[in-house]
Amino acid sequence: MQPGSVVFALSALVGLIGIFLARSGYTGKEHSVGIDLGTTYSVVAVNQKDNVSVIPDASGYTLLPSIVAFKDGGEVLVGRSARQYRSQDPRHTIFNAKRFIGRAFDATVETEEAPHYEFGLGRDEAHRVCFPLSVTGHATRCVSPVDVGAHIVSQLKTSAMRYLGHDQIYSAVIAVPASFDTDQRLATVAAFKAAGLKVANVLVEPTAAALAYGLDRKPNVHYVLVFDFGGGTLDVSLLYLQNGSFEVIDTAGDNHLGGEDLDDVLATHLVARFEELLATPALPPLSTLARTSDESAFPCTVSGMRGVAEKLKRDLSALPSAAASCVIEASTAQHAAGSLATVEMTRQEWEALVAPMLSRTLTPIHDMLDGNGMAPTDIDEVVLVGGSSRIPWIQHALAALFGREPNAHIDPDVAVAVGAARLAH
């Protein structure tokens, strides 16, 4: 056979192999991703040649609300669509599932936590927490936190496949709170397995955040304090870095203090403000109308105020004053149905409203430093994690305490996923 014929034959063979692989569904290199399955938001990131990218969904959002709604007939909504549906059916719209994953249904759950949720808390056959469903078409009458987590992870996996242009995503590096026990870690891993992902490595969230900033490669850094103020909890961790590896020395925090607790206080305040504005003795509890595609168009209802409050909190973290608006669903003498009702608030007013809660965020830091015989000057780096850590009061208070600006140039909402992705190959 002539050399030219050999080259032609090999080229044809390569082409046939490519066609076969494409028809078999293979369209790219296998990837592992980094995932932060969060209490309030979840994030997926990918490491491509040491360049980490946070993956957006089809609408361009990098943060997926950790909310799952179960509709009559078996339909399941995840993320923003579930958050919109919540004002219509809060009983079957599950959020904060991470707080309950791997936990037994005990007296604490029943008496201290259940009253804070519009959806129910029940127990399965193994006496684990589950969420009762009274809608039809679902495989179970009490869905587990693992199942809720699996729906969220599946959505993140879909976004990653769309972003990378292929479906060769089989594993993930994940991060869990440093305070998670063995049952909680195993349940989290089970959620990923149910979504079709093998867990390649399990990091603790403070270590992942420190890796995101490359502190493991920074000279003269030994003690790192990670301040994780997310939607559900406040977690403070003290890390020690030696030979490129982090060790968690101590953890502290407040399981009943998170961004959503701030939102609850603000929402209660806004209910009173809008009732006064609309001259009504009480806002309706639930929305009776289908939501629009406009995420900022929350209804003037009690359930809608949580969304209004969260948006206002975020706006006031960036601006000295902001407006809170909701959509009027029923006409009044002064307001037409479909119009917006608006109240104004300054950052100073908001800080005064939640001042006791903001002050509480510093207590675990002082307790941890005192318990380890350390002073603020012993801390080499401070890392911010969680959306609530971008609150200006928090950043100013930490800078004053430690005498330096905290690491915050990576979006605190995505830092854990970025750190996890640095170890995903």
Please check the confidence at residue 289 and state whether its pLDDT lies above 70: no
Q: Is 45 helix (H, G, I), strand (E, B) or coil?
A: strand
- 349 given a catalytic annotation: no
Residue 272 neighbours by CB distance under 10 Å: 11
What CATH superfamily classification does 31-200 receive? ATPase, nucleotide binding domain (3.30.420.40)
CB-based burial label for 385 (10 Å; 0-12, 13-18, 19+): buried
Please check the confidence at residue 27 and state whether its pLDDT lies above 60: no
Point out the least confidently predicted range of 15-24, 52-61, 98-107, 254-263: 15-24
- Structure-token pair, residue 19: 């066609």
What pLDDT score does 291 carry? 52
pLDDT, average across residues 374-396: 96
Contact 198/30 with Cβ under 8 angstroms? no
Instruction: Choose, from 57, 113, 216, 228, the residue flagged as catalytic.
Output: 228
- Structure-token pair, residue 46: 């990918």
Q: What is the DSSP letter of 56?
A: P
pLDDT, average across residues 180-209: 97
What pLDDT score does 231 carry? 86
Domain ranges for the chain: 31-200, 218-257+361-408, 259-354
Residue 281 neighbours by CB distance under 10 Å: 6
What pLDDT score does 19 carry? 44
- 228 given a catalytic annotation: yes
Q: What is the pLDDT of residues 355-372, one digit of tens each?
A: 999 999 999 999 999 999
**Phi, psi dihedrals of residue 257, rounded to the nearest 5°:** -140, 110
Q: Tell me how far apart the alpha carbons of residues 345 and 354 are, in angstroms, rounded to a whole number.
A: 13
Q: Is 55 helix (H, G, I), strand (E, B) or coil?
A: coil
What CATH number labels 218-257+361-408?
Answer: 3.30.420.40
Average pLDDT for the chain = 89
**Phi, psi dihedrals of residue 340, rounded to the nearest 5°:** -95, 135
| Confidence label for 296 from pLDDT (cuts 50, 70 and 90) | low
- The more confidently predicted of residues 186 and 303 is 186
pLDDT, average across residues 295-319: 89
Strands (E) in 296-377, as ranges, are 321-327, 340-346
3-state SS string for 215-253: HHHCCCCCEEEEEEECCCCEEEEEEEEECCEEEEEEEEE
- The more confidently predicted of residues 234 and 114 is 234
Q: What is the DSSP letter of 109?
A: I
Range list of H helices, 213-354: 259-277, 305-318, 347-353
| Confidence label for 12 from pLDDT (cuts 50, 70 and 90) | very low
Contact 225/214 with Cβ under 8 angstroms? no
- 183 given a catalytic annotation: no
How distant is the alpha carbon of residue 248 from its chain centre?
22
Q: Tell me how far apart the alpha carbons of residues 75 and 69 are, in angstroms, rounded to a whole number.
A: 8
Domains 31-200 and 218-257+361-408 share a fold: yes
Q: Tell me how far apart the alpha carbons of residues 66 and 79 are, in angstroms, rounded to a whole number.
A: 6
Contact 306/263 with Cβ under 8 angstroms? yes
Point out the least confidently predicted range of 64-68, 290-294, 384-388: 290-294
Please check the confidence at residue 154 and state whether its pLDDT lies above 50: yes
What CATH number labels 259-354?
Answer: 3.90.640.10
- Structure-token pair, residue 309: 């409050």
Point out the least confidently predicted range of 6-10, 91-95, 410-414: 6-10
Please check the confidence at residue 156 and state whether its pLDDT lies above 70: yes
Q: Tell me how far apart the alpha carbons of residues 135 and 286 are, in angstroms, rounded to a whole number.
A: 18
Instruction: Choose, from 98, 157, 311, 313, the residue flagged as catalytic.
Output: 98
- Structure-token pair, residue 2: 């002539």
Residue of 316, 318, 287 lying closest to 301 (CA atoms): 287
Please check the confidence at residue 222 and state whether its pLDDT lies above 50: yes
Q: Is 299 helix (H, G, I), strand (E, B) or coil?
A: strand
- 254 given a catalytic annotation: no
Q: What is the pLDDT of residues 230-245, one digit of tens each?
A: 988 899 999 999 988 9
Angle between helices 145-164 and 182-194 (to 10 degrees): 50
Q: Tell me how far apart the alpha carbons of residues 68 and 135 are, in angstroms, rounded to a whole number.
A: 14
Please check the confidence at residue 7 and state whether its pLDDT lies above 90: no
Please check the confidence at residue 180 and state whether its pLDDT lies above 50: yes
Instruction: Choose, from 113, 205, 216, 411, the residue flagged as catalytic.
Output: 205
